């Protein structure tokens, strides 16, 4: 829901930073992989209850996620790069709640499992429509420079980042936040399935 606004706000600084990285030979795919490595380190940090360290790693991962797209727009958007980026993004999204489960299995296990279950709904509806939109030649009027169709919803990348920040700042309330955000994710899934189905039905 907030991505269209946050993308506009960060586009210029990301573009300037990407120009610098491009000038020293850093590629979009290298940035994607480096960002995922940083994000993955949040898993042991969370398991060890080092929440502020995990927060820094999460923010660095999201920074790299913005930079790889900006670099791709300079160096050339590719299907391979888009595929790598989206795969590692969804793995990263799932490992954060898993880290909180490892930190406190008794209190966080069911809430963490519910949130990951919810991510499966948002992720599968997002990717399934992107595949069909590509086959049908449906263009996205909002995100024109993406390698695949970005379907909007109540919970997008910006909301997920805010959720992860809340987890790290308020780890004692992980379960409540996870249930609330998971419910919002299911609202996103239902609306995406409904609108996606009827969009494709009317297109065929």
pLDDT tens profile 18-59: 999 999 999 999 999 999 999 999 999 999 999 999 999 999
How far is the C-alpha of 142 from the C-alpha of 148, rounded, in Å? 12
To the nearest 10°, report the CA torsion of 139, 122, 153, 55: -110
Residue 174: is it exposed, middle or buried by C-beta count within 10 angstroms (0-12/13-18/19+)?
buried
pLDDT range class, residue 87, cuts 50, 70, 90: very high
Q: Any idea where the domains of the chain sit in the sequence?
A: 3-203
Q: For the beta carbon of residue 142, count every other beta carbon within 10 angstroms.
A: 12
Q: What pLDDT digit, counting tens, does each position of 127-141 carry?
A: 998 888 888 777 664
CATH topology of domain 3-203: 1.20.120
CA torsion through residues 127, 129, 133, 136, sign: positive
Q: For the beta carbon of residue 130, count every other beta carbon within 10 angstroms.
A: 21
pTM: 0.88
To the nearest 10°, report the CA torsion of 56, 61, 65, 71: 90
pLDDT of 151 reads 66
Contacts of 58 (CB under 8 A, 6+ apart): 39, 42, 96, 161, 164, 165, 168
How far is the C-alpha of 173 from the C-alpha of 108, rounded, in Å? 9
Residue 142 has pLDDT above 50, yes or no: no
pLDDT of 157 reads 84
pLDDT range class, residue 116, cuts 50, 70, 90: very high
% of the chain beyond a pLDDT of 90:
71
How far does CA 4 lie from the centroid of its chain? Answer: 14
Stretch 149-171: mean pLDDT: 88
How far is the C-alpha of 160 from the C-alpha of 156, rounded, in Å? 6
């Amino acid at each position: 829901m907030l991505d269209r606004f946050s993308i506009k706000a960060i586009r210029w600084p990301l573009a300037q930073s990407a120009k610098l990285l491009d000038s020293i030979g850093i590629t979009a795919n290298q940035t994607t992989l480096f960002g995922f490595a940083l994000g993955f380190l949040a898993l042991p940090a969370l398991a060890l209850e080092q929440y502020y360290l995990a927060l820094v790693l999460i923010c660095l991962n999201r920074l790299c996620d913005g930079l790889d797209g900006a670099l791709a727009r300079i160096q050339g958007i590719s299907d391979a790069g888009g595929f790598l980026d989206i795969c590692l993004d969804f793995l990263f999204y799932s490992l954060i709640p898993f880290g909180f489960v490892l930190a406190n299995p008794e209190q966080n296990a069911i809430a963490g499992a519910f949130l990951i279950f919810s991510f499966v709904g948002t992720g599968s509806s997002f990717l399934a429509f992107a595949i069909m939109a590509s086959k049908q030649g449906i263009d996205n009027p909002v995100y024109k420079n993406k390698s695949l169709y970005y379907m909007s919803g109540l919970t997008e990348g910006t909301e997920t980042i805010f959720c992860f920040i809340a987890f790290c700042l308020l780890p004692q309330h992980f379960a409540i936040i996870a249930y609330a955000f998971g419910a919002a994710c299911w609202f996103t899934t239902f609306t995406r399935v409904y609108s996606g189905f009827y969009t494709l039905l009317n297109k065929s």
